């Protein structure tokens, strides 16, 4: 059995490593030709996940058609800004029975779409000619690529309204160090996955300002309240946001030293410009682009998200971290459930 992983960043590479024992072949697609050449030559992703050897059955490739040809399952792990274009490019090479899994944690900027919605938009019309609906699932949860690649135990969620699809992927992907739980609420899983990055930027700012554990705990708790309000307004179940893809991923991203989004906030608090921070990073911090989309979604659904709004102001250069914090603390007093 063959699977294809589209996106050879740190998380895509870690997935290739952890899933390799479960499949006959794992094809790992990368955009950068030089990276593909080096992965083939040295069996290591020196750019995004150095120090971890690729298993022998992982085949790096720079051709999308080669990557997805004959693959029973295709996992999209590309940055959200490239998702629609890449799915459109791979469409002619996909069989209508191919199972599609999104592992990208972000929102599409101009449409505000979740990644599974982007998938469905791209694939539905073409697949309908074969009298098939695209089979789509979402993979998310509290995971740092380095820890997964090193074999440390991790638990994630595979979410789909197609319960049989989620269950079959759960059986195939799960192993001794990688445990999957099924969920039939992809809306809650994707909103939790995308918006936790926004709160993680705020967590980095708190640390950069020298604030302590009290502030961090308050931020995470109220951040979860914001995410849950928006998710519920979009049709998600509140319980999903208390699970791995909600609270679990939020805590990890807000507190873990490996968090890219937390690092962005930390550097902003230290006075560096956003352009300078982003330009110095090898990998994309999805929260930077997700913040503006989240603010617009909140307006569309008439949901109050004061932390997210202040993060948007900071990222746009409209307010300093100190001013944003002061405004958050001086807002009108209200009940915790509001």
Q: Which residues of 2-34 are buried (b: 16+ CB within 10 A; e: fewer)?
A: bbbbbbbbbbbbbbbbbbbeebeebbbbbbeee
Virtual torsion, Cα 242, 116, 154, 235, nearest 10 deg: 10
DSSP for 273-324, written as a single string: -HHHHHHT-SS--THHHHHHHHHHHHHHTT---HHHHHHHHHHTTSS-HHHH
Of the listed 196, 263, 319, 334, which one is catalytic? 196
Assess contact for 184 and 193: CB atoms under 8 A: no
Beta bridge partners of residue 100, listed in sequence order? 74, 136
The length of the chain is: 338
Active site residue 105: no
CA distance 7 to 78: 5
Assess contact for 223 and 199: CB atoms under 8 A: yes
Which helix (H) or strand (E) segment is 166 a member of?
helix 163-173
* Token digits of residue 255: 């507190």
At which residue do the structure tokens 């049709």 appear?
235
DSSP for 43-103, written as a single string: SEETTTEEEEEPPTTEEEES-HHHHHTT-SEEEE-S-HHHHHHHHHHHGGG--TT-EEEE-
Catalytic residue ranges: 196
């Amino acid at each position: 059995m063959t699977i294809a992983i589209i996106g050879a960043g740190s998380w895509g590479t870690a997935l290739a490593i952890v899933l390799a024992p479960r499949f006959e072949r794992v094809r790992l697609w990368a955009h950068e030709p030089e990276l593909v050449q080096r992965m083939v030559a040295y069996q290591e992703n020196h750019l995004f996940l150095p120090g971890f050897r690729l298993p022998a059955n992982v085949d790096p490739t720079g051709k999308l058609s080669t990557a997805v040809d004959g693959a029973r399952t295709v996992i999209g792990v590309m940055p959200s800004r490239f998702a629609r274009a890449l799915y459109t490019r791979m469409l002619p090479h996909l069989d209508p029975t191919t199972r599609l899994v999104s592992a990208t944690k972000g929102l599409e900027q101009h449409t505000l779409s979740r990644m599974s919605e982007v998938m469905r938009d791209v694939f539905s019309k073409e697949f309908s000619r074969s009298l098939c609906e695209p089979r789509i699932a979402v993979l998310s949860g509290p995971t740092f690529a380095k820890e997964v690649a090193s074999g440390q135990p991790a638990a994630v969620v595979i979410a789909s309204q197609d319960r049989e699809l989620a269950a079959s992927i759960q059986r195939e992907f799960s192993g001794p160090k990688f445990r999957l739980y099924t969920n039939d609420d992809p809306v809650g899983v994707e909103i939790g996955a995308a918006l936790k990055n926004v709160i993680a930027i705020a967590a980095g700012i708190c640390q950069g300002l020298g604030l302590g554990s009290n502030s961090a705990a308050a931020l995470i708790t109220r951040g979860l309240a914001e995410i849950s309000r928006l998710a519920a307004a979009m049709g998600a179940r509140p319980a999903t946001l208390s699970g791995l893809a909600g609270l679990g991923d939020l805590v990890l991203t807000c507190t873990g030293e490996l968090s890219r989004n937390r690092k962005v906030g930390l550097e902003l608090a230290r006075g560096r410009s956003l352009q300078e921070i982003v330009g110095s990073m090898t990998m994309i911090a999805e929260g930077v682009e997700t913040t503006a989309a989240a603010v617009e979604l909140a307006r569309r659904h008439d949901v109050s998200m004061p932390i997210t709004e202040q993060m948007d102001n900071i990222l746009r250069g409209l307010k300093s971290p100190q001013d944003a914090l002061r405004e958050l603390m001086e807002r009108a007093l209200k009940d915790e459930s509001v």
